[in-house]
Structure 1
């Protein structure tokens, strides 16, 4: 690939690559979902696959590792993890503080799931064998969560688009009283938070409106579209990673810092919709599910597959900057969920941690 030398051209190429990746992911999800429905594949299995894996991050990370840029790949893991915890949960707390009871099992998973990757980081390298172990850990963890969900009345790990695919309702169950309500910092009655803040946000920040519908197509046709979308993903991720390398080399910054901040921020924007919007619709359990599922994926499968493709250097800033900030955000989020209240003050603290994280990356 011929890479332009102009910084402006590099930035333009980088943005084109990111948009192409995100759009192709949306097309891929739509095509696979409709194909699964048409071919009679279990909606539960579909939910596991689509809700548990962040394809944008996975594709960008794998591409970066494949072209021997493991620092950039690892940066996207930390950056997107922190974006979900600090920005998405923080914004939800600031805009629509809410109460909910989170199963202790999920709190335990949220706190403990980064421990294996952290332990492997201490010696300064995560090698392919350790990466394979992390990758193998992902399936039983996600399976255990979904096994519990099958036995529970409240579903926590379905994102909005998955609910629409499998035909579930996104509105709270007002009749049974089993739905979880968003409240204004815990001080307002259920359902009054949106009116108190007079919010009318459109947080659908992805490219859904530009994605064609495959609802009336055959299953095989949709599978073909999914294959084409995969090719587009490959091209877009290649453009993004190569141009990203040109940018951070031109600016004299590390690939780890660029991946953890700029690349992960742009690639994670849709996480706002998957976290804040369910809270505004009085379904905060969906937001919590997105946070738990994403953290499980980032800290096991995502790190694992990158390490399998290329050993990851995990010393230096990884231990002194990225792990401490991730731990801090995890503790704040877990503490709020354990108390059953996500508050504005907690949201502000999370935002402050994210801003400090950016500063620490470029200090």
Structure 2
């Protein structure tokens, strides 16, 4: 393959990843708006959107569907490690913070990978293993949200979902009164405050996601927002197809395994916005949102995400999976859990996590 062809594949790969991420942002915004407009439970919305990492799921499912299960499994490990090591590590380095995390969540964080690990020991994850892991995700997520509903502090709501739930919870009379006093379509006081907060966050640190390019659906009907959500799904499908096809051409041309490429390059690029979902809440004094993102994402990655991949195609879990990926995932989980158990994330622990991620990249290509 010539250098020009490789550059073309790389450009197609990046375009596909950006399209997937942008369409996911549009989808979340559209679903949130339509749910609020149509009277759908914000709590149910939170369960669906905060508990599932759509970018990873879409890329993994597409890779498995076109018979690239190693690439799909690589994204599961790579994005799990990115959230644990890079997102938490960078947050600790840039903004050391204190937080009191419920012990039950720490146990979930440490123990939730064990079923997938146990099922991987025989060297393969087949459709039966995939079904077990996929089904396991439901009670785990339901248990976390049941606890959240009874708690005064929420740990699993992402920023977008929290906005949607708050919007749904607003008194309709108050919303109407605000609209009447602001005929030019101005936001409510609550939304205005949140906008100021997000704007301040962007001034302190560059925005790492595509929020500012998402179309504004405020004031649109619920049905219109649903149509936008459906179009976003089409965009996700196209983008994931471009990403996976070009990724295969790249790692074949470079002579590396799909597992290593998915665990490093693909997962790194697809996970960049996880920095925003972790670092920005910490900067804004809402570290519980960052911890919620870490817990929710980890639960999803090692249960439903890998389970769906195994349902579509048997996955080889021997070799590097056991000698590289599981050991590094375990190490990062223990460091993060130990750090959160002490109630503070320091620059030292952040540096250790980032160093583990660098070592993980090196181990994949050694």
Regarding TM over 0.5, the answer is: yes
Structure 2 Cα separation of the partners of residues 31 and 160 of structure 1: 15
Structure 2 Cα separation of the partners of residues 130 and 148 of structure 1: 28
**CA contact 2:22–2:210 (8 Å) conserved in 1:** yes
Structure 1 Cα separation of the partners of residues 11 and 204 of structure 2: 28
- Kindly state the Cα deviation for residue 200 of structure 1 after the two structures are TM-superposed: 5.5
Residue 347 (structure 2) aligned to one of 344, 348, 351: 344
1:103 is matched with 102
1:306 pairs with 2:309: yes
- Kindly state the Cα deviation for residue 167 of structure 1 after the two structures are TM-superposed: 2.0
Structure with the largest fraction of helix: 2
Residue 243 (structure 1) aligned to one of 242, 246, 260: 246
Residue 328 (structure 1) aligned to one of 318, 327, 331: 331
Partner of 1:154, secondary structure, is coil
**CA contact 1:74–1:303 (8 Å) conserved in 2:** yes
- Kindly state the Cα deviation for residue 5 of structure 1 after the two structures are TM-superposed: 7.8
2:190 is matched with none
1:67 pairs with 2:70: no
Deviations 1:223-243 (A, max 9, x none): 111111111111100000000
2:136 is matched with 137
1:277 is matched with 280
Structure 1 gaps of 5+ residues are: 169-198
2:56 is matched with 57
- Kindly state the Cα deviation for residue 217 of structure 1 after the two structures are TM-superposed: 1.4
Structure 1 Cα separation of the partners of residues 29 and 285 of structure 2: 25
Partner of 2:204, secondary structure, is coil
Indicate the larger mover: 51-60 or 5-14: 5-14
2:36 is matched with 37
**CA contact 2:78–2:264 (8 Å) conserved in 1:** yes
Partner of 1:361, secondary structure, is helix
1:1-363 matches, cutoff 5 A: 6-167=5-166, 201-363=204-366
Deviations 1:6-65 (A, max 9, x none): 100000110111111111111111111111011000111111111111100000000000
Structure 1 Cα separation of the partners of residues 296 and 11 of structure 2: 32
Structure 2 Cα separation of the partners of residues 315 and 215 of structure 1: 49
Deviations 1:263-315 (A, max 9, x none): 00000001001111111111111111100000000000100000000011000
What's the TM-score once normalised by structure 2's chain length? 0.89
Structure 1 Cα separation of the partners of residues 278 and 223 of structure 2: 33
Deviations 1:207-266 (A, max 9, x none): 111110112111111111111111111110000000000000000000000000000000
Structure 1 Cα separation of the partners of residues 10 and 125 of structure 2: 31
2:196 is matched with none
Structure 2 Cα separation of the partners of residues 302 and 11 of structure 1: 26
Deviations 1:328-348 (A, max 9, x none): 000000001111111110000
Partner of 1:167, secondary structure, is helix
Distance 1:63 1:140, change over 3 A: same
**CA contact 1:203–1:277 (8 Å) conserved in 2:** no
1:186 is matched with none
Structure 2 Cα separation of the partners of residues 272 and 115 of structure 1: 26
Structure 2 gaps of 5+ residues are: 168-201
Number of residues paired by the alignment? 332
**CA contact 1:87–1:351 (8 Å) conserved in 2:** yes
- Kindly state the Cα deviation for residue 203 of structure 1 after the two structures are TM-superposed: 4.5
Deviations 1:172-212 (A, max 9, x none): xxxxxxxxxxxxxxxxxxxxxxxxxxx96325311111110
Structure 2 Cα separation of the partners of residues 215 and 128 of structure 1: 42
Partner of 2:153, secondary structure, is coil
Structure 2 Cα separation of the partners of residues 201 and 282 of structure 1: 13
Partner of 1:152, secondary structure, is coil
What's the TM-score once normalised by structure 1's chain length? 0.89
- Kindly state the Cα deviation for residue 101 of structure 1 after the two structures are TM-superposed: 1.1
Indicate the larger mover: 311-320 or 96-105: 96-105
Partner of 2:152, secondary structure, is coil
